[in-house]
Every structure is written in C-alpha cells, then in structure tokens.
Structure 1
Amino acid sequence: MGSPNRGPHGLSPEPTGSPIHGQVQRPPSLSSRRSHGQLGLSPGVHLPSPPPPAQSHPENQGRVRPSDPSGPLLAQKGLVLRSGPSQQSRSLAPPPGLRPSDARPNPPPGPSLPQFDGLAIETLILQRKGFSPDVIRTMMAARRPISSKTYHCVWKTFKDWCDNAGHPFRAFSLPRLLSFLQSGLSKGLSLGSLKSQISALSVLFQRRLATIPDIATFLQGVSRLHPPFRDPVPPWDLNLVLTVLQGPPFEPLGSIPLMWLTWKTVFLLAISSARRVSEISALSHLQPYLVFHSDRAVLRTVPSFVPKVGTSFHINQDITIPSFCPQPSSPREVALHALDPVRALKFYLHRTQDIRQSSSLFILPTGSQKGSPASKATLSRWIKEAIRRAYIAKGRPPPLHIRAHSTRGISTSWAFRNRASAEQVCKAATWASIHSFTKFYRFEDFAASDAHFGRKVLQAAVA
C-alpha cells in the first residue's frame, strides 16, 4: 500500500514530520513493501502523529500510544533509523554491457528495527534523577564494563519476556518479577544466576529488590529445591599435567615450537600465582613491571589496568613467581627444574624478542597479528590447551568443559594441601579474607608454613 503519487522507480515521496533528536530519516519503500506507517516501534516510543495514510492496516491500530505509562524510556540510539539509499544515488542509466531489461534498481533495505540499548536506558534513568552528564559518566564507571554488559543483557531478556507476555517493560510489579525469575528457574538457571538477575533489575527499577521479603523467600526456596552442589573432585588432574610438562613435548624449551613454549609458560604462571586471566593479560615485559631476582620474578600489572575489585589492596599487589629447584643436583631435581616458571619466562622472553610489537608480556606467536598483545580470551584458550595437550600426551582423554579460571581453585587447594598458610593463599589469590576460598573449595586448617605459595603448588608434581 502507499500513496498514489509515486516518483520514478516506484518510490514514494518522503513525508515530512517533526524531528526527534534531529531529523529521523524514513527509508524509501517500494509499492510491494509496507509504508513507514507500519513500522513496528516499541510501545514506549513517543512519536508525533503522522499524516493520515491513504489506507490503514488493522494490525497497525494502536501500535503507537502516546499515553503509554511506560514512558519514553526506550528512546535510544536504536530509534534513529538508518536512512536508505537516496534517490540521487540510484543510477538511471544501465551500466555498460547490460541490456535495458537487466538494469533494474536494487531493492532498498527494509526499515531498521529499534535496537535495545542498555547504555542509553541507564543514562536516561540517571538523567531523570537530575544528574549532570559528568556525574552520570562517573557513576556509570562504578561497574566493570563486563558487569554492565551482563546487566544490559538481563534487561533485554526481561523486556523480551514482558513483550511475549504482553506486560509493560518499565512498570514494576512484584508478582510479574517473580514470574520472570520462576521462568528462569524452570529453564535451569542456578541460584547464582537468579541473584545476578535480581542485581541487574535492581538497577533498572532503582529498588533494592534483594531486600524485599517475598524475593528473599523465593531465593530461599530455590536454595532448598536446588541446593548449590560443589563437586569435590577437581575438574582436571594437576599432578598429571605437571608430570607431562617436565618432558617432551614441552621440553626442551630452547627448541620446542614457540606455541608449545607459550602454552607452558602461561600455564605455569597461572598456577604458581593463582591470578585471574585479566591480571595476566595486564602484565608487561618491561621494568619496573617485571624484575628478575636470584630466586624469583616479581611482576606488577600496568597502571592502566583496573582489577575486578578496585581497592588499594588489589591494585598494588605484587605478583611473585618463585624459582623451583634453581640449582638441580640430581636427575629428579633436574626434572623438577623443568617446572620452574622463572626459567620458562626467561626462555619465552628470549625467543619472542625478535617478533615483539607490544610491551605486553604475552604476545601472539603466529598469524597475521604476530607480536601483538594476547587478549584475555586467547590467554584462557592457551591455559586450557596446555591442559588438553598434557592429557593427550599421557594417552588420556582430555576433560570436558575445562575452564581457565579453574587454575585459581586448584592451585590454592594444592597449596593448602601442602600446608601453605591461609595468609599466603589469600595474598597470592588477592582475596581480602579466606571466605572466598572456604565458600568454593574445601578448607583444612593446616599449620602455617614458611614455604612460598608458588612452590607449594608446584610440589603437586611430587605428591
């Protein structure tokens, strides 16, 4: 359907209207497509009334309701529709070599649907509270980017659920919220995931949802129906991996492929420090962020790095990597010296010095981006690959669903088993208290020991 007055190529003339944050360009449409009056905008969008169309389709009645109680919260950048190709950009003359019958104009793209923009929604929430743009930028920096991304994904999931059920997205309703959480529980979400959704929706509705008695009762019921179970068996065998790392194909470090050296070095650094992959990705090979001593290497993250917990304790922690059997005097000690993370790090720096294009400690050893910094995802993949290759070399099937983050739990558990003190473990893993360890891993109260944390982890090879 469309206006009977059409321009060349069957295009309807563009109507004019009041601007919404600037002129909104409506893409031209062919006679076989819907007119712009049929664009499915979100119910919360307030648009000026367009001129009455020549015809009206029943499904469009009530599509835009100026009195919608949800308000214009969804008026974000996704609503600024991308304009289609202009009429002037269409060539009237056919290209050389084409018959006139083949010179058909390309059909214009369909109208862009509004995209969900959580950042714009959060900005609008704070604007409605009267905060200035500078204050809003500072407040939105309170969360890590990955946390904000997670929150916005929850909002979109909640909006899709509301749309499917015919509920307004912005209107808070406790029964509706609990129904949403129940739908997630029915799909297999864990208690932790439901708590994350509550935290995200607390920001959306500007309410402390977790303190509402009915929500607390619901979460208590979830914990009883689906109690959190922690598998007492580690997801992979540290002893097996360390045994394989002592010989081929991970030795000798001077001649094995650089990729294998990279896998081994990253893995040894991860388990001997119990640090997160995000921290390992923020290390540098330059001084003063890497200093070698006779019995250890001391690393620090670059100043631009913001840790998961941005306190002075977490930001200013040194990462101390121990040497292991630095002066071997027996065949057994020679084999254990192959697990020395300081030795592996020195070999790695020497063999990558000619391809370096970055000050980052770990770089890509191959490919078109050779010498560039390795991302967190790449470092995680390398840690998992070291474990997988060790199992294959041992003739064992690799474990399924290996997570790079598991190095933190396994390394701290082995350190405790070898009688490292609680203080040593907390400092190595940058835990402010032992609560994080006792919550997720078995805790045994061994006597304090002067042994270094990293050496205690590496002693798994001789257990």
Structure 2
Amino acid sequence: MGLPRSRPDGVTPQPKGSSLLCTLPGSSSIGSRHPHGSVGFSTSLCVPTDSSDTQNNQESTKRKHHSHPNSTKLATASLVLGSPQYFNRGTVDSSINTGPTPPRSNSTSQSSKPQFDCVALETQILKNKGFSDAMISTMRAARKSTSARAYYRVWTSYKQWCLKHKMNFDKFSLPNLLEFLQEGVSLGLSLGSLRSQISALSILFQRRLAFLSDVKTFLQRVAHVAPPFRKPVATWDLTLVLKALQRAPFEPMKSIPLQWVTWKTVFLIAIASARRVSENSALSCRTPFLTFHSDRAVLRTVPTFLPKVVSAFHINQEITIPTFCPLPANPKEAALHSLDLVCALKFYLHRVRDIQKTDSLFVLNSGPQKGASATKTSISRWIKQTVHRAYVAQGVTPPDKIKAHSTRGMSTTWAFCNQASAEQLCKAAMLTSLHSFAKFYHFDTFAAHDTRFGRKVLQAAVGSST
C-alpha cells in the first residue's frame, strides 16, 4: 500500500507554529509509569499548503471515518515529513521472525511519496508526558535500533492501511486495529508477526492492546487458523558438515584460500559457542577481549556491544573455546585435530594479519572494503556458505533455506544429547532456563531412538508366526 501524494488524512492546513490540543492515554509500554488518563499538549505542524494539498484536504474532510466509541486520539501534530532513513516502506516487519513475511503492497511511486517521520512522532508522544529532551533521548535508547526500525515499519504500514481504507489514523479504534491484523492474516503473517505488530501499535497509541479482551480472542483464533508450527528436525546435518571440515577444500588451513579459512573459523566458533551472529560480529582480536591459554581461548564482546538482553550477566559473559585433540597420536585423532578451534583461530589471525584494518575479530577478506569489520549479514552468509559447501564437498545435495541462527539450536541440541548439564547449556547459549532451550532451540537429532517402541509392538508378529 503506497503513501498517497497528499498529506495524511484528516490534517487541516495550519500556519507554522499553530497549536493542536490532543489527548493520549497513559501507559507503561515505553517505560513510563504515567497514570492512565489524558494529557493535553500543544505542538507545531509543518505542512506545505499548495493548491493541490488544499484540495485534497477538503476532500478528506468529507470522508466518513470509522471510529470506536472508546477511540483515543493520536497526536496528529506529529505526522510530519522527513527522516526517511528510519523505516523501510512496503514491508510489515516482525521482531520475531518465524518465517517469510509477505510484504504489503506498495503501489505509489516512492519519489512522489511524503515521508512519515516516526522518530518525530515517538518524540512527541514522550513530550506529551512532560519528559525533557534529555530524558526522551534516554527513553528512546532503551529500545534497540533494530526493534525501533521494526516498530516504525509497523507504524508506517498501519498509516498506509488507514489511508487506503479511508480510516482515521490519528485515533485508536479497536475495529480498525483488528481489521488491520486480519489483513495480515490474509497475507500469511505468522502469529509471532501479529504479536509484534500489536506491541508496536501499543507504543503508538499508548495502550496495552495485548490485554484487550477482543485482541486476546483474535490471537487465540489466529493460533487455530495458522498454528505456530516449528519444524522439529534440523534442515542440515552437523555430523556431515564436521566431517567435510576435516578434509579438502577446508584443509590444510595453511595453504587453502583465505575465504575458506574464514568460513571454517566462523562456523566453528558459531557451533562451539552457541552464540548469536550479532555477538560473533562484536568479538575483538585484541587483548583482553581475546586471550589464548594452553588449553583454551577466551573471547569477550567489545564494551560498545549491547546483547539482545542487556544485563550484567549477558554483557560480561565470556566465550570459552577448548582445544580439541591437541596432541594427535593416530590418523583419526589427527583428523579430529583439524576441528581444533583454538588452532583454527590462530591460523585465521595469522592469515588476516596483513589486511586487517580494525580490531574486529572477523574482517572482510575481499572487495573494496577488504580488511574492514564484517557485519552480521556477512557472518550469516559465511555460516550458510560453509554448510552449503560442506554438502557439495560430500557429494550431497545441499538443503534449502539454511539459516545461520540454526547453529544455536544445533549446538545446544548436540551438547544436550551428549549429557551436557542444564547449567552448561544455559550459560553457553545465555538462556534463562531449559524451557527456552526446549521451546526455541531443541532439535530431534536422534529421532531413530523413538523407533524402539514401534519395533517392540511389531515383534508380536514374531510370536504369531511360530
């Protein structure tokens, strides 16, 4: 759904600096404990008033707006133009990615569209509560930039939806909200995506939308229509990949191309640490963030990195990488030693020494940015390439839809099957409990064990044949 060429619906031309009195209910959804109620404020609206805009606005005042009896007026004064960098138009985003999300249509030419400034809108919402500029800056920093961009995309999509259906964007209406969510269901959005949209719109309208009885009922019904199914079996085989890493083209590391050394090292760290790609991208090659010992290497993320959960435990957690068959005594142990991550890490650092332009552990190994810090996107691509190339090297068709994040589930699952304790699992993957592991990361890697029950039943045929 594209943005129209005119201003947002229902906004009348105002002289610069004119005031609009609006009300917002209090909420704690963005960290405030302001009591529920109305907050009066006045603000400025900067809108061009050319003839075409005036005509379009006159037409918009004739439109019939659908509203809820308990609707809440949003700060229309915050619908200003500018700041296109804060959102990507045309896509409904989710902070919980459970599958591909069909984009909402975007038919209007981007060059002719006004920009919806979500940052200004959120700032105005906080100003309405009486917060100072310094406090607003701190409040906005409480949410990670990726989450903020995801929320802003939802706000933009909801605004576009309101314009398309001639609904009033500046007021909260429960029927409008549910219709917007229903369109997402029709487009194939997952239950997690819908919950993310509700969270984003809760901040926009300063209401705890997820607690409304009709919203609860709607989500319960969606769970029946589109149940949150998760594939129980991993899409790729860790044993096959590790077997491939012990031979060409991933060996010998002292002579293979740097690209292959990078792929192998990144993959082994992802598997051995069970950490997220974002954490691996924040590792450093400098002391004290990387320390080698006789039997292990200890890594730490840089102080500027903020993990998904910002706490003293998560920020200061070390990644300890052990040696593996450090003194091989036979060919089998020699092959296993090729998976020694401490050794691989030393090889990698030696190979990138002459091109490294940053303190980041992982750097780009080719292209115009050669030697610069590798982004999360690059590291994710390297992990997927490693799995793909390993399958090709083994003469096996690579699986579809390999996800770099699957290394967390694969790593913790194999550790669990090999008798790793609950404490070890939770500490390595930085999980709060085994429930999180079972819900999000556990794969059924030993499904063949469950065949024993069926075989016991079928053994009845053995007795009947005698």
Q: Same fold (TM over 0.5)?
A: yes
**What is aligned with 1:119?**
119
Is contact 1:44–1:74 with CA below 8 Å preserved after alignment?
A: no
CA contact (8 A) 1:296 1:322 kept: yes
Residue of structure 2 in register with 1:26 after alignment? none
Q: Distance in 1 between matches of 2:366 and 2:345?
A: 18
- Classify 1:403/1:388 alpha carbon distance in 2 versus 1 (closer, same or farther; 3 Å): same
Q: Provide closer, same or farther for how the CA distance between residues 254 and 132 of structure 1 changes in structure 2, counting only shifts above 3 A.
A: same
- Could you say which residue in structure 2 is the equivalent of 1:275? 275
Which residue does the alignment assign to 1:223?
223
Residue 54 (structure 1) shift? 12
Q: Which of 80, 89, 92 is residue 76 of structure 1 equivalent to?
A: 80
Secondary structure (helix, strand or coil) at the match of 1:423 reads helix
1:15 — aligned with what? Answer: none
Q: Corresponding residue for 1:204?
A: 204
| Letter of the 2:79 counterpart | A
- For 2:358, the equivalent position in structure 1 comes to 358
Greater Cα radius of gyration, structure 1 or 2:
1
Cα displacement (A) at 1:114 = 2.0
Report the more deviating stretch, 173-182 or 110-119.
110-119
Amino acid at match of 1:370: K
Describe the shift of the 1:195–1:420 C-alpha distance in structure 2 as closer, same or farther (beyond 3 A).
same
Q: Give the match for residue 17 of structure 1.
A: none
Tell me by how many angstroms 1:60 deviates: 3.5
Which runs of structure 2 are paired with 1:51-450 in the superposition (5 Å)?
Answer: 60=56, 62-63=58-59, 72-78=76-82, 113-442=113-442
Matched to 1:76, the amino acid is: V
C-alpha change, 1:442 and 1:39, in structure 2 (3 Å) is: closer
How far did 1:77 drift?
Answer: 4.0
Task: Kindly state the Cα deviation for residue 45 of structure 1 after the two structures are TM-superposed.
Answer: 3.9
Q: Deviation of residue 219 (structure 1)?
A: 1.1
Higher relative contact order (CA 8 A, sep 6+): 2
Give CA-to-partner distance per residue, 1:400-457, whole Å, 9 cap, x none.
111111100111011111111111011000112222111124489xxxxxxxxxxxxx
Q: Which moved more, 1:211-220 or 1:258-267?
A: 211-220
Q: Given residue 235 of structure 1, which amino acid in structure 2 is its aligned partner?
A: T
After superposition, the C-alpha distances for 1:1-41 in whole angstroms (9 at most, x for unaligned) are xxxxxxxxxxxxxxxxxxxxxxxxxxxxxxxxxxxxx9722
Q: Tell me the distance in 2 between the aligned counterparts of 1:274 and 1:349.
A: 21
Provide the rounded CA distance (Å) in 2 between the counterparts of 1:338 and 1:42.
Answer: 61
For the 8 Å contact 1:323–1:343, the answer to whether it is kept is yes
Residue 73 of structure 1 aligns to a residue whose secondary structure is helix
**Misfit runs of 4+, over 6 Å:** 53-58, 66-69
Q: Give the gaps of 5 or more residues in structure 1.
A: 1-37, 81-109, 445-463
SS in structure 2 opposite 1:78? coil
Residue 193 of structure 1, CA deviation? 0.7
Task: Name the counterpart of 1:20.
Answer: none
- Partners of 2:196 and 2:111 lie apart in 1 by 35
Matched to 2:391, the amino acid is Y
Contact 1:325 1:333 in 2 (8 A): yes
Aligned pair count reads 376
* Identity over aligned pairs, percent: 57
CA change 1:287–1:61 in 2 (3 A) is closer
Q: Provide the secondary structure at the position in 2 that maps to 1:62.
A: helix
- Residues 71, 334 of structure 1: alpha-carbon distance in 2 compared, 3 angstrom cutoff: closer
In 1, Cα distance between the equivalents of 2:248 and 2:312?
42
Q: Partner letter of residue 42 of structure 1?
A: P
Shift of 1:170: 2.0
